[in-house]
């Protein structure tokens, strides 16, 4: 599948798709989207890149093994859940919100960090599974 | 108080980065943690002795009534002081005992996690959080028993201990849930007033049995006692700390804590007395047949735990006072004896009582500690052990029916325990020093000072029982729901029958000690009965259970994916079909359906063609591709029916699934063997039946009047409570965020599984 068209396109598609996945992640709270879909789109971006450029190139691009994203994401999601318990004496997973509206992001709350955690875990899981299987194929 | 409990966990996390520092010269600094906690808890002594109860509350999962409520009263204060005080000495001792050990930092990590879990256990007011800490103590104990993880025996003992205490933990959880549903609260403080209601409940016996299951496994009561001698494979500081002074007393703590809630009932009292009596006599007899010092101590510990259960079973003020004092007595002398044994083992390299002699010449301070502890264990005045024994005799003597029989049993136990204490604390130090031990060196003072301090405690509290009377014993008895005002501890009770029995005990025990030498021959003789011991019976039924479940699993999970799918489908058709046809009335109102649009019809046609192609194509790749088309067609249906979130996710998932399939198919051999006609017809019927059932089910669901309470709530509150307009996403990250949390954990576990499976196989082929 290493056609020149796909190869050239993948160079531009990867950043665009990644940006799109982040857009999907951020808009999730108000419109269709969210961490799960965003994560899947980001993984598709990397998988596409690996098809066009070869797995080794994608891995080099990623620098770290995608598996490391799983604990990072889990920790982030857990921290977002546990913050209200530790600092505000509220039950686990209570949403905390920054009162001011921020540019670009809109209102900022623990839910965003939780969703970001989901995003990272999904990217980590999908890429780990697909990379492992295609390596052993 | 929350910080005090969490300190141990925080410290063990901190060790991950600073492990090197604590492994080297500065290991003694780790003892600062329990010392700080000990000082923290001593501050409360005066307030608690004035009858105050200190509570603290943090909400955790209020929706389920699960909170982190902590209560510091007489009972929890005594245990907290024991946990942190003995903990401090054990930490100090460990720094010398395991000096230079490769994994000393890890050991401190486990030990401080254990300490934190144990503090949480004794301070929790909420039964569910108590259960969580209870399990944490089992888990840390597993790691500590198996600390020498290169030894097969250690690993096996650790697993047995975990299995036994783990089953007990589950029993505690179920018991707690029952109690919670009867009383409507998980707070023990709130249950205190409901004793009559609980006792008259039809489930009372079951609840008590479940709580007993937890307490008896944790506190090594007959017939679950055998994990404790096995747990002696752990390094001696662990045996001292977990398996004699603190963790095994968690069961005792639970019984004491729940005495006002569940006690004062014939079933409770009788069962505890019988189990306690059997345990104390059985394991006291066992001490006669052991030659390993730690074996002797293990069985005498079980026996002491039996005495405690026996006393709690009596349930009178006298008995509970005796139990309270005996907890202190036992912690002091048994910890000393274990530490002394550890020193002997560390300096001479053996724990065999048949060869150890005359060590007083080389290890004098250790000998003094051992001697004092043995006196306290024997109940010889002026040690605190004497007071404990007098109280035990007195309460048993005053216990109405069967007093003579019970008296006989307790006296026999005490005689045998005296023997065990002498064997462990005196025998290695008396007599002529054999040549092989002449070069034995004194250990560092960090090792001999802790047992000496504890042994001094045995004497000091014995001479001045006032020190613990008002401060610890009285508040402890009153927190068990009884009036402790009348308690008065003293060394000398006047000339009476109790004193006579004490004299008989001491005399008979001493005679026994001089008459019976521990020998290998007797140990071997008793080993013959191993076949009928509870250990063999339980481990055998365990092995058979594993065999059975292996057979069962192999029957259903034979490794062929197609069989799994057929099994799942057959069961689903049978079960769903049965209840569908027996209950539903299939009143489908076709007029209520919206008319079919062109888009829907077109999508359905595409889907049908794709299904037909999937079924009849001869190429795997084509089948996978057309499966992808079916998936996309479903996504389009989602879009038409305005479920954009679902459609987006399904689109991405379908794309990835096709990629995954292709990757896997790539590995399979090129020519596929097609199944024969019969199988195809069978599979066809099966899938048609499955599809029909699901369709009928959905039609039936549509016909039912639906309640939209939940979705209305989410829709109404998504913006108000969670600042989000996309209800689906708000449910995922906020309303039901804990579910998402668990789901992503499962995803991560699945990915690790795939990774491990495939990489492991790669490595094997590399080796070949």
Task: Closest CB to A137: pick one of B59, B666, B754.
Answer: B666
Q: What's the alpha-carbon Rg for chain B, to the nearest Å?
A: 33
Q: Which pLDDT score is estimated for B618?
A: 79
Confidence band of A1 (pLDDT split at 50, 70, 90): low
d(CA B737, CA B61): 13
pLDDT in tens, B75-96: 899 999 999 999 999 999 988 8
**B124, β-bridge pairs:** B70
Query: Which range of residues forms the domain containing residue A17?
Result: 4-136
Please answer yes or no on whether B660 and A129 come within 8 Å at the CB atom: yes
Q: Which residues pair with A101 in a beta bridge?
A: A107
Q: What is the pLDDT of residues B694-733, one digit of tens each?
A: 988 888 887 777 777 877 888 887 777 777 777 888 888 8
DSSP B112: H
- Is pLDDT above 70 for B25? yes
Inter-chain CB pairs, A–B, below 8 Å: 157
Q: Does B751 touch chain A (CB under 8 A)?
A: yes
- The average pLDDT across A39-49 equals 91
Reported as a pLDDT band with limits 50, 70 and 90, residue A106 is low
Q: If we measure between CA atoms, which residue out of B98, B79, B121, B78 comes closest to residue B31? A: B98
The residue of A40, A85, A97 whose CB has the most chain B CBs within 10 angstroms, and thus the best one to mutate to test that interface, is A40
What would the pLDDT profile of B263-307 be if each residue is shown by its tens digit? 888 889 889 999 999 999 999 988 888 888 888 899 999 999 999
User: How far is the C-alpha of B1 from the C-alpha of B411, rounded, in Å?
Assistant: 42
Using the beta-carbon criterion (under 8 Å), do A137 and B644 form an inter-chain contact? no
Nearest in space to B120 (alpha carbons), one of B246, B212, B214: B246
Q: Provide the domain count of chain A.
A: 1
Tokens for A125?
A: 């899981």
Which two structure tokens, joined as six digits, stand for B385? 């052990």
Least confident of A50-64, B207-221, B511-525, B645-659: B511-525
CB-CB under 8 Å, B733 with A132:
no
Among A41, A67, A125, select the one facing B747 at the smallest CB separation: A125
ipTM of this predicted complex? Answer: 0.90
Give the minimum alpha-carbon distance from B760 to chain A in angstroms, rounded to a whole number. Answer: 11
Measured between CB atoms, does A91 come within 8 Å of chain B? yes
**Model confidence pLDDT, tens digit, residues B644-660:** 888 888 888 888 888 88
Name B352's bridge partners: B292
Q: Which of A96-105, B493-502, B561-570, B672-681 shows the highest mean pLDDT?
A: B561-570
Q: Is there a contact between B752 and A67 if contact means CB atoms under 8 Å apart?
A: yes
| Secondary structure letter of residue A101 according to DSSP | E
**Which of B659, B664, B737 is nearest residue A93 as measured by Cβ atoms?**
B737
Spatial separation of the C-alpha atoms in residues B345 and B72, rounded to whole Å: 38
Position B347 confidence tier, pLDDT thresholds 50, 70, 90: confident
Q: B622: pLDDT confidence band, cut at 50, 70 and 90?
A: confident
Q: What is the mean pLDDT of chain B?
A: 85
User: For the residues A96-112, what does the mean pLDDT come to?
Assistant: 73
pLDDT in tens, B246-257: 888 999 999 999
Q: Do B755 and A128 touch (CB under 8 A)?
A: yes
| Chain A CB within 8 Å of residue B750 CB | yes
- Pick the range with the lowest mean pLDDT from B58-72, B205-219, B516-530: B516-530
Within 13 Å, how many C-alpha atoms sit on residue B623's CB side?
A: 10
8-state DSSP, A95: -
Q: Measured between alpha carbons, how far is B89 from A52 in angstroms, rounded to an integer? A: 64
What's the CA dihedral at A23, A27, A28, A34 to 10 degrees? 10
B553 touches chain A (CB under 8 A): no
pLDDT digit string, tens, across residues B545-595: 889 999 988 887 887 887 888 889 999 999 988 988 887 777 777 777 778
Largest distance between two CA atoms of chain A: 58
- The H or E element that residue B242 is part of is none
Residue A110 scores a pLDDT above 60: yes
- Selected residues 703-722 of chain B with any CB under 8 Å from a CB in chain A: 721-722
Q: Who among B726, B729, B741 is closest to A77 (CB)?
A: B741
Q: B234 in the Ramachandran plot: left (φ > 0), alpha (ψ -120 to 50) or beta?
A: beta
Residues of B in contact with A82 (CB under 8 A): none
Ranked by mean pLDDT, the top range of B43-52, B558-567, B652-661, B747-756 is B747-756
Residue A105 has pLDDT above 70, yes or no: no
Which residues in chain B (403-462) have CB-CB distances under 8 A to chain A? none
Which residues, including other chains, have CB under 8 Å from residue A34's CB and lie 6 or more apart? A24, A25, A28, A115, A118, B645, B726, B728, B729, B732, B733
Greater pLDDT, B142 or B493: B142
Checking if the pLDDT of B767 tops 70, the result is no
């Amino acid at each position: 599948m290493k056609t020149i068209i796909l190869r050239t396109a993948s160079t531009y598609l990867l950043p665009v798709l990644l940006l799109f996945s982040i857009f999907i992640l951020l808009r999730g709270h108000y419109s269709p989207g969210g961490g799960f879909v965003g994560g899947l789109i980001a993984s598709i971006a990397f998988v596409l890149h690996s098809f066009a450029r070869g797995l080794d190139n994608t891995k080099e691009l990623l620098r770290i093994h995608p598996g490391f994203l799983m604990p990072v994401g889990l920790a982030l999601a857990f921290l977002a859940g546990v913050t209200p318990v530790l600092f505000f004496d509220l039950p686990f997973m209570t949403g905390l919100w920054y009162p001011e509206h921020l540019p670009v992001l809109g209102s900022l709350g623990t839910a965003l960090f939780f969703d970001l955690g989901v995003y990272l875990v999904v990217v980590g899981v999908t890429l780990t599974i697909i990379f492992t299987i295609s390596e052993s194929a | 108080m929350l910080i005090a409990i969490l300190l141990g966990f925080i410290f063990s996390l901190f060790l991950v980065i600073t492990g090197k520092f604590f492994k080297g010269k500065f290991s003694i600094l780790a003892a600062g943690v329990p010392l700080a906690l000990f000082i923290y808890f001593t501050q409360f002594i005066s307030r608690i002795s004035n009858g105050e109860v200190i509570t603290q509350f943090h909400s955790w999962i209020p929706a389920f009534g699960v909170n982190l409520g902590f209560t510091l009263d007489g009972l929890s204060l005594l245990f907290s002081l024991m946990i942190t005080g003995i903990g401090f000495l054990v930490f100090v001792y460990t720094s010398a005992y395991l000096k230079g050990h490769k994994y000393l930092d890890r050991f401190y990590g486990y030990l401080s996690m254990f300490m934190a879990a144990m503090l949480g256990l004794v301070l929790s007011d909420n039964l569910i959080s108590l259960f969580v800490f209870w399990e944490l103590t089992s888990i840390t104990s597993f790691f500590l028993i198996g600390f020498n993880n290169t030894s097969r025996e250690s690993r096996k003992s650790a697993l047995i201990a975990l299995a036994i205490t783990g089953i007990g933990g589950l029993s505690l959880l179920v018991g707690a849930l029952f109690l919670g549903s009867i009383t409507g609260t998980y707070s023990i403080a709130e249950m205190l007033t409901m004793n009559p209601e609980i006792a008259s409940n039809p489930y009372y016996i079951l609840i008590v049995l479940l709580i007993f299951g937890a307490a008896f496994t944790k506190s090594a009561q007959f017939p679950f006692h055998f994990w404790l001698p096995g747990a002696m494979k752990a390094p001696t500081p662990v045996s001292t700390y977990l398996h004699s002074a603190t963790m095994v007393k968690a069961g005792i703590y639970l019984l004491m804590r729940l005495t006002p809630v569940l006690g004062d009932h014939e079933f409770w009292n009788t069962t505890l007395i019988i189990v306690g009596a059997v345990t104390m006599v059985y394991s006291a007899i066992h001490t006669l047949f052991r030659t390993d010092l730690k074996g002797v101590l293990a069985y005498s510990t079980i026996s002491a735990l039996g005495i405690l259960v026996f006393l709690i079973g009596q349930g009178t003020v006298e008995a509970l006072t005796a139990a309270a004092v005996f907890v202190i007595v036992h912690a002091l002398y048994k910890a000393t004896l274990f530490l002394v044994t550890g020193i002997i083992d560390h300096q001479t390299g053996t724990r065999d009582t048949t060869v150890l002699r005359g060590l007083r010449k080389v290890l004098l301070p250790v000998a003094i500690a051992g001697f004092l502890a043995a006196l306290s264990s024997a109940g010889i005045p002026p040690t605190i052990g004497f007071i404990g024994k007098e109280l035990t005799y007195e309460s048993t003597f005053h216990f109405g029916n069967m007093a003579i029989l019970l008296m006989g049993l307790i006296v026999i136990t005490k005689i045998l325990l005296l023997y065990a204490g002498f064997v462990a604390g005196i025998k290695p130090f008396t007599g002529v020093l054999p040549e092989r031990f002449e070069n034995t060196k004194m250990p560092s003072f960090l090792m001999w000072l802790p047992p000496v301090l504890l042994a001094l405690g045995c004497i000091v509290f014995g001479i001045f029982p006032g020190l613990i009377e008002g401060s610890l014993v009285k508040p402890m008895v009153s927190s068990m729901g009884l009036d402790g005002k009348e308690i008065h501890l003293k060394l000398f009770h006047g000339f009476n029958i109790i004193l006579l029995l004490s004299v008989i005990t001491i005399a008979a025990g001493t005679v026994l000690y001089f008459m019976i030498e521990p020998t290998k021959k007797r140990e071997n003789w008793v080993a013959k009965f191993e076949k009928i011991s509870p250990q063999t019976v339980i481990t055998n039924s365990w092995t058979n259970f594993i065999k059975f479940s292996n057979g069962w699993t192999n029957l259903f999970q034979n490794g062929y994916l197609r069989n799994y799918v057929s099994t799942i489908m057959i069961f689903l058709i049978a079960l769903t079909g049965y209840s569908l046809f027996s209950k539903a009335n299939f009143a489908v109102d076709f007029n209520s359906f919206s008319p079919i649009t062109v888009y829907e019809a077109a999508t359905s046609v595409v889907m049908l063609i794709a299904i037909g192609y999937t079924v009849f194509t001869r190429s795997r790749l084509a089948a996978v591709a057309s499966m992808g088309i079916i998936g996309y067609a479903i996504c389009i249906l989602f879009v038409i029916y305005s479920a954009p979130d679902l459609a987006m996710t399904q689109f991405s998932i379908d794309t990835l699934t096709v990629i995954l399939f292709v990757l896997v198919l790539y590995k399979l051999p090129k020519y596929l063997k097609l199944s024969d006609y019969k199988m195809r017809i069978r599979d066809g019927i099966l899938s048609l039946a499955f599809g029909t059932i699901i369709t009928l089910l959905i039609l039936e669901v549509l016909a039912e009047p639906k309640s939209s309470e939940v979705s209305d709530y989410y829709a109404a509150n998504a913006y108000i409570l969670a600042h989000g307009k996309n209800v689906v996403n708000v449910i995922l990250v906020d309303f039901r965020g804990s579910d998402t949390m668990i789901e992503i954990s499962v995803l991560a576990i699945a990915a690790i599984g795939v990774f491990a499976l495939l990489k492991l196989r790669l490595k094997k082929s590399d080796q070949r």
